[in-house]
Amino acid sequence: MSPLAAARHAARSHKQDREQALVQAAFNQIAERGFEGLRTREVAAGVGLNIATLHYYFPTKEALIRGVVAHAMDRFRSTLAPHGSPADQLRNHLRAVRKLLRDEPEVGAVMGELALRSARDPALARIMGEAFKAWHATLRGLLDRAKRDGYLAGDLDNDDVAALIMATLTSMTLPSTASADRTDRAFRQLERWLGLVAPKTHRSVSSN
């Protein structure tokens, strides 16, 4: 790598580190204070920057919120392991989301805050809509593969099933429904309803 290329790489890496630090600071503020408690000046100060420098990385508050949503959704996407059968992947996704919400309650707190705020904030609604559309597509692909391989009932509508899974998991982030017992029951019922079973196989019949 040439000195110029190395310098450009270092600059990009530094910029990404700063952006991630600012997003994490904003994420933490929303988790602790709610969406109304987000103060961009304090976000900047929390990572040793002034507000003008923050605007270099995130020109608008909407851009910073988009970063927070992407960070939260990345935590959800981390629960999708690309190995095992489609049924295993789907089952493990549900269980990993449950573990994520239990071990990192701030993720649920932030998602709940953003979901509530998006009902009266068109800009945030667009950001959340984009993130949820991508999540829906991922789940739909996983369900399609599970059905194709015989792990799910053939009469299920995968678009509807993906929407139901998302609605159930998202509701677990809302203060009115977020309780360990209720969440565990919801996850168990999802698994039972989906009927994640071994694929059908054709037995060979031996003749006597």
- The model's pLDDT over 50-86, given as tens digits with 9 standing for 90+, comes to 999 999 999 999 999 999 988 988 888 888 777 788 8
pLDDT for residue 150: 85
- DSSP structure class, residue 78: T
- DSSP structure class, residue 36: G
Asked if residue 200 has pLDDT above 60, the reply is no
Please give the share of the chain, as a percent, with pLDDT higher than 70: 86
* DSSP letters for 29-90: HHHHH-GGG--HHHHHHHTT--HHHHHHH-SSHHHHHHHHHHHHHHHHHTT--S-S-HHHHH
pLDDT for residue 204: 40
Rounded CA-CA distance 33/70 in Å is 19
For 69, counting Cβ atoms within 10 Å of its Cβ (0-12 exposed, 13-18 middle, 19+ buried), the class is buried
Mean pLDDT of the chain: 83
Asked if residue 94 has pLDDT above 50, the reply is yes
> How many Cβ atoms from other residues are within 10 Å of residue 36's Cβ?
9
Cβ contact 169:97 at 8 Å: yes
